[in-house]
Structure 1
Amino acid sequence: MKLLTKTTLYFILIMLPVFAAGAYYLFHKFNKEIKHETDEELVNDQLEWLRYLDTASLDNPIFRFHTQEFQLIPTDQPIQKKFKLKGVNLYQETEDTQAPFRELSQVISIHGKNYQLILRKSMIEKDDLAKNIITVMLLAFGGLLVFVILSNWFISRNIWSPFYRSLDKIRQLQLNKMETLQFNRTPTHEFNQLNDALNQMTDRIHQDYINMKELTEDAAHEMQTPLAIAQSKLELLLQDENLSEEQLKNIGQTSEELQRLSRLNHSLLLLAKIENQQYPVTEQTDLHPVLLKYLSLFEELIREKELTVDTKLAPAAPWPLHPALADILVSNLLGNAIKYNYPEGRISITLTQTSLTISNTSNLPEIPPANVFQRFRKSNQGYSNSNGLGLAIVKKIGDSYRINIRYQYRNGLHIFTATC
């Protein structure tokens, strides 16, 4: 969950109970005030009626008048010094429903006789008024809550925008372009601290990258010279007719190991260059002519093993690869398919605009999935001339240029698929 979403959710969880409690308090307070005002009106009405009844005669029709809002009933109960207030529900015939009233009752004495005085006031209109006010309040509270949440979200997003810009720069980071990367100043002190730390970190990484790149190149070049000298000296020794057969055999083995060491040095240098992004993609490379070129170069090996090659090639397949890496990808996969095939075996090549599949028959068993692309991992059978880096280089090309490399073993076929 994103930090902005998380903070917004926490804010909502905190604000909803606060707003609900506030709305409940206001409703309760408003309802209490309405009841208080109604009770005051009833008390005032009672005082007016008491003044009037003190001057009225017993023959006055008021002593025989009864309504829902006014009743004067003769009673034997003792006189009450204090009136009583309460809420009651009375049946309304016109609406066929119970309606709320506030009621004041008291036993009073008029001309020496006791009467039950009951005054009532309808709460229907006041309840409707309360409901309308509560509805307006809830809408206002709801609108205010939405406004506060949206304001908080927009403000938070604006505040966090420098962080996301820095994050995007880190995601697009490339070692060979780090010297141009700068994290800018922001109005926020904490983000400035973060950007300063990132600037220092990228400067150190870039410097380490430059040092490693120079060390790798220098070491590779320095190694090539003594290797070439040693190889040339061994070739001269092989031409000496005074050497015994055993000596010639030992020199030949040493020469082979030197050649293997030279290839290993070249492969390690190539891996380092790929990892350091030293093969920028300026334009897409068409794999169709690359495949045709290597089929032609390997034609003699294919004919020597009497292999059957089935091809299904798209007319054009532009891939986001440096031309040198396209050559390496195709030559390694096709070279392995030829090298580890058996005589009169079969190779199948399928090329589309987005995928390349090369499958081959072989007497070798399935390569363990955990080892297939690991460096210096090779089978005990059939890989004696390999330095164990061919497939590792293919995998590194795929990882560096967003090309998915997969290996499958199905029906006796070793299948390698590259998908861009």
Structure 2
Amino acid sequence: MKLLTKTTVYFLLIMLPVFAAGAFYLYTKFNKEIKHETDEELVNDKLQWMRYLDTASVNNPIFSISTPEFNLQPTEKAAQSKHKLKGINIYQEPENTYAPFRQLSQVITLHNNNYELVLRKSLIEKDDLIKNVVFVMLAAFAGLFLFVLLINWLISKSVWKPFYQSLGKIQRLQLNKMEATVFDHTVTHEFNQLNAALNNMTTRIHNDYTSIKELTEDAAHEMQTPLAIAQSKLELLLQDDTLSEAQLQSILISYDELQRLSKLNHNLLLLAKIENQQYPVTEQPNLCAVIEKYLLLFEELIREKDLIIYKEMTDHAPWPLHPALADIMVSNLLGNAIKYNYPNGRIDIRVNANTFSIANTSQLPEIPADILFQRFKKQNTGYTNSNGLGLAIVKKIADSYRLQLHYSFKNGEHVITVTPGL
């Protein structure tokens, strides 16, 4: 959940009970005031009736009258010094419903006789008034609530805008372009502190990255020269007829290891260049043509093992890769498929604009997923004469160009599938 959304939700959770409590309080207060005003009217009417009845004769028919709003009847009850007020519901025959009334009752003494005086006032109109007031009040509360919510959202969005700008820069950050990334000054102290820390961090990271990059490149280049000299010297020694068979064998082993070291150095330099994004996509090479090229280059190795090659390729399959990296990916995958295959084995190659898969038979077991693409790690001893960088390079190419790399093992076949990412 976004921070702005989270803030808004918390604001809603806090404000809704507050507004509900405020609405309930105002409704209760207003209803109480209506009843109070009605009670005052009833008391005033009682006083008026008392004055009138004091001057009326005993035989006046008013001393025995009953209506929904006025009732005066003789009673044997004792006289009361104070009236009683309460709310009642009276059946209304025309509407066939009960209507709310406010009632005042008191036993009074007139001309030495006791009478029960009952005065009532309808609350129907006042209830309608309350409903209208409540509706207006709720509408006002709703409007105010939405207005406050909108203002809070706009203010929060404006206040948090520098944060999201800095976050966007971090998400788009690239090591080779980090030097040009600057987090701007804002009017908010906390964001200024954050941006200052980010500026310092990116500067340190860029400096470290530049130092490591230069060290890697320099070391790789510097190592190539002594390796080449050592290989040339060993080649000369291999041509010396005065050396014994054991000496020649030792020199040959050293020569092979130097070649392996040279290849390792080259692959490490290649990984560093890929990580540094030194292979921009300037064109989309046809993967089918690259595969055909390497099938031709590996033709002798394929013939030695009598491998069966099955191809299912479209005429043109452009892929978003640097041409050099397309060559490296195909050569590594196809080279492994040939290298770890058995005589009379099979290699299946399928290519189109959306999928590149290569499957090969092998007597070697499934490679554990947790070490498949890791550098210098091959669990099974059957994977000999390998520095473990082939699939690591393919994985690095896939990550750098947002390709999805999937490995599976079924029916004795190792299958690696590459698909463009979303």
TM-score per shorter chain, which class?
A: over 0.9
- Letter in structure 1 aligned against 2:162: P
The TM-score normalised by the length of structure 1 is 0.96
- Letter in structure 2 aligned against 1:154: L
Match of 2:405 in 1: 405
Which range moves more in the overlay, 225-234 or 317-326?
317-326
- Letter in structure 2 aligned against 1:276: N
Return the alpha-carbon distance in structure 2 between the equivalents of residues 233 and 38 of structure 1: 118
Match of 1:367 in 2: 367
Are 1:15 and 2:23 matched, yes or no?
no
Aligned pair count? Answer: 420
Q: Is the 8 A contact 1:312 1:349 kept in 2?
A: yes
Shift of 1:251: 0.8
Alignment of 1:121-160 (within 5 A): 121-160=121-160
Alignment of 1:43-62 (within 5 A): 43-62=43-62
Are 1:293 and 2:304 matched, yes or no?
no
Residues 180-220 of structure 1, C-alpha deviations (whole Å, 9 max, x = no match): 11112223221121111111111111111110010001000
Residues 307-351 of structure 1, C-alpha deviations (whole Å, 9 max, x = no match): 111111122222221111111101100111111112222111000
Return the alpha-carbon distance in structure 1 between the equivalents of residues 380 and 248 of structure 2: 27
The TM-score normalised by the length of structure 2 is 0.96
Q: Is the 8 A contact 2:277 2:400 kept in 1?
A: yes
Q: Is the 8 A contact 2:64 2:74 kept in 1?
A: no
Shift of 1:162: 1.8
Return the alpha-carbon distance in structure 1 between the equivalents of residues 409 and 276 of structure 2: 32
Shift of 1:379: 5.2
Gaps of 5+ in 1: none
Closer/same/farther in 2, CA of residues 379 and 7 from structure 1, 3 Å limit:
closer
Shift of 1:79: 2.4
Which range moves more in the overlay, 25-34 or 6-15?
6-15
Are 1:83 and 2:83 matched, yes or no?
yes
Which range moves more in the overlay, 317-326 or 29-38?
317-326
Residue 319 of structure 1: SS of its match in structure 2?
Answer: coil
Are 1:334 and 2:331 matched, yes or no?
no
Shift of 1:291: 1.3
Residues 271-305 of structure 1, C-alpha deviations (whole Å, 9 max, x = no match): 11112222222333321221121112112222232
- Letter in structure 1 aligned against 2:110: I
- Letter in structure 2 aligned against 1:217: E
Residue 317 of structure 1: SS of its match in structure 2?
Answer: coil
Match of 2:377 in 1: 377
Closer/same/farther in 2, CA of residues 108 and 380 from structure 1, 3 Å limit:
closer
Which range moves more in the overlay, 136-145 or 342-351?
136-145
Which range moves more in the overlay, 265-274 or 23-32?
265-274
Alignment of 1:135-214 (within 5 A): 135-214=135-214
Match of 1:229 in 2: 229
Which range moves more in the overlay, 108-117 or 3-12?
108-117
Which range moves more in the overlay, 400-409 or 141-150?
141-150
Return the alpha-carbon distance in structure 2 between the equivalents of residues 3 and 297 of structure 1: 57
- Letter in structure 1 aligned against 2:66: H
Q: Is the 8 A contact 1:364 1:381 kept in 2?
A: no
Return the alpha-carbon distance in structure 1 between the equivalents of residues 345 and 112 of structure 2: 131
Are 1:266 and 2:266 matched, yes or no?
yes
Gaps of 5+ in 2: none
Residues 135-180 of structure 1, C-alpha deviations (whole Å, 9 max, x = no match): 2212221222222223222321222222122112111111111111
Residue 227 of structure 1: SS of its match in structure 2?
Answer: helix
How many percent of aligned residue pairs carry the same amino acid?
69
Which range moves more in the overlay, 302-311 or 26-35?
302-311
Shift of 1:57: 1.6
Match of 2:253 in 1: 253
